[in-house]
């Protein structure tokens, strides 16, 4: 039987490892599902034992982990007794980025077994905060209304609210979005992007250009625009992206383009240090790792790594149609990739599925137990 200290340490480690799994090109649905089941079991056992806090309210000694504030937070039951005035910010973990906060909130909700829709509906009254809409989008909670939300007064909340409408497939909201899409400025752009995701169509290069002009190169819409654009537009879009910010963060976009013509470039970037005879580095080169990830996104992990190991190996040839994980996007390819691909491949599959069926929610591969697949 695990001692209390051993259980705390193991569960804290599992929490840390989840973040690593989400960024690994070797982890997929099955690994994430098994990991989350172990993590949930550890957290529930800790709660049953009444562990996690000292008399001062701090995490117990012995974990020594950067995620200890998260473990402390997860072990503290959520107070949702005042649901009429509930704020979704209570589900935002301390010291967490937005992407981390979303999956941590999903874990906490699973532990507390709270009425999610009722709580978010309460938070949405009067407009809700940004995190309310981001969480409702992430968990695909449909049909939240905003009786007191004035677009003109809530511009900071608008991107999250419009993203919620679009990513959860609320096609009935098109008329409301169209009312804001004809103007200029940030609100109009967010309306156009939401309409694009709801199947209204749009000029992908122009939408991307406007996103970049507003400094939104890390927007969730970027991979969707790349997946949805016609092949003849993608090169120009990629050129725009590669000119913004740190190159390693932009190279991944080459993988989302689905264009196999970039395979030689990605292989060169991933093996550049080796080709130039540079001494072996103790830390992986960021650009090389990003290029290798993008290569595996296009070709699949096995084929991508085989190309990296054999520099003289000829590059496989594909037709003009986009590929993902070495597959043309035909038939049940997206379903196969979601269930058998790595996290980046699963995210790209989710983008393509959403664009095919705008009325469906966007699947989230980093979701609890690997997320829910909304098959196209």
pLDDT in the model for residue 18: 96
> How confident is the model over 298-327, as pLDDT tens digits?
999 999 999 998 866 777 777 778 899 999
Let me know if residue 257 belongs to a domain.
yes
pLDDT in the model for residue 306: 92
Let me know if residue 148 belongs to a domain.
no
How high is the mean pLDDT of the chain?
86
pLDDT in the model for residue 110: 93
3-state secondary structure of 199: coil
Please name which of 192, 188, 186, 149 lies closest in space to residue 174, comparing C-alpha atoms: 192
Share of the chain above pLDDT 70, in %: 85
**Is 125's pLDDT higher than 70?**
no
Do 72 and 58 touch, CB atoms closer than 8 A? yes
> How confident is the model over 147-205, as pLDDT tens digits?
555 555 455 678 999 999 999 999 999 998 999 898 778 999 999 999 999 999 999 99
Residue ranges of alpha helices (H) inside 1-115 are 4-22, 29-49, 68-74, 98-112
Let me know if residue 371 belongs to a domain.
yes
pLDDT in the model for residue 182: 85
For residue 254, give its domain range: 216-376
Distance CA 72, CA 262 (A): 45
pLDDT in the model for residue 142: 86
Please name which of 301, 263, 351 lies closest in space to residue 254, comparing C-alpha atoms: 263
> How confident is the model over 255-298, as pLDDT tens digits?
999 999 999 999 999 988 555 555 454 456 899 999 999 999 99
- Give how many domains the chain has, as a whole number: 1
> How confident is the model over 207-261, as pLDDT tens digits?
999 999 999 999 999 999 999 999 999 999 999 998 887 788 789 899 999 999 9
Let me know if residue 376 belongs to a domain.
yes
Let me know if residue 226 belongs to a domain.
yes
Distance CA 347, CA 333 (A): 13
Let me know if residue 272 belongs to a domain.
yes
**Is 363's pLDDT higher than 70?**
yes
The CA-CA-CA angle for residues 186, 168, 370, to 5°, reads 115
Let me know if residue 116 belongs to a domain.
no
C-alpha distance from residue 88 to each of 77, 78, 315 (Å):
15, 11, 49
Strand partners, 324: 327
Phi, psi of 291 (to 5 degrees): -65, -40
> How confident is the model over 28-39, as pLDDT tens digits?
999 999 999 999
Distance CA 195, CA 1 (A): 55
Distance CA 192, CA 188 (A): 6
> How confident is the model over 69-100, as pLDDT tens digits?
899 999 998 876 665 557 788 899 999 999 99
Radius of gyration of the chain (CA): 22
pLDDT in the model for residue 82: 60
pLDDT in the model for residue 20: 94
Let me know if residue 108 belongs to a domain.
no
Residue ranges of alpha helices (H) inside the chain are 4-22, 29-49, 68-74, 98-112, 116-124, 130-138, 158-167, 174-181, 186-197, 204-213, 221-228, 231-242, 247-257, 263-270, 272-275, 286-299, 301-309, 333-340, 343-356
pLDDT in the model for residue 63: 42
């Amino acid at each position: 039987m695990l001692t209390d200290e051993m259980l705390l340490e193991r569960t804290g480690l599992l929490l840390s490892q989840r973040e690593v799994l989400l960024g690994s090109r070797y982890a997929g649905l099955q690994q994430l599902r098994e990991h989350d089941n172990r993590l949930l079991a550890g957290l529930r056992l800790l709660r049953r034992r009444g562990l996690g806090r000292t008399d001062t309210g701090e995490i117990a000694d012995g974990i020594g982990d950067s995620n200890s504030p998260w473990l402390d937070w997860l072990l503290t039951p959520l107070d949702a007794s005042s649901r009429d005035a509930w704020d979704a910010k209570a589900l935002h973990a301390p010291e967490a980025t937005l992407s981390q906060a979303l999956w941590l909130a999903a874990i906490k909700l699973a532990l507390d077994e709270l009425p999610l829709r009722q709580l978010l509906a309460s938070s949405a009254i009067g407009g809700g905060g940004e995190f309310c809409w981001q969480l409702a989008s992430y968990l695909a909670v449909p049909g939240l209304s905003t009786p007191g939300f004035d677009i003109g007064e809530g511009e900071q909340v608008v991107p999250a609210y419009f993203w919620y409408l679009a990513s959860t497939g609320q096609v009935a909201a098109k008329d409301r979005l169209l009312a804001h899409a004809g103007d200029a400025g940030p609100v109009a752009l967010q309306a156009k992007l939401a309409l694009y995701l709801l199947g209204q169509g749009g000029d992908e290069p122009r939408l991307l250009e406007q996103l970049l002009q507003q400094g939104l190169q890390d927007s969730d819409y970027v991979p969707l625009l790349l997946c949805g654009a016609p092949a003849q537009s993608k090169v120009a879009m990629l050129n725009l992206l590669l000119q913004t910010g740190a190159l390693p963060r932009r190279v991944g976009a080459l993988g989302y383009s689905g264009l196999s013509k970039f395979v030689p470039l990605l292989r060169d970037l991933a093996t550049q240090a080796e080709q130039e005879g540079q001494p072996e580095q103790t830390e992986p080169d960021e650009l090389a790792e990003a290029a290798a990830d993008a290569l595996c996104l296009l070709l699949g992990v096995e084929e991508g790594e085989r190309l990296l190991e054999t520099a003289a190996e000829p590059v496989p040839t594909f037709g003009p149609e986009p590929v993902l994980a070495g597959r043309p996007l035909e038939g049940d390819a997206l379903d196969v990739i979601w269930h058998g691909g790595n996290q980046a491949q699963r995210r790209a599959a989710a983008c393509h599925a959403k664009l095919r069926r705008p009325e469906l929610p966007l699947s989230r591969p980093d979701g609890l137990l690997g997320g829910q697949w909304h098959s196209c």
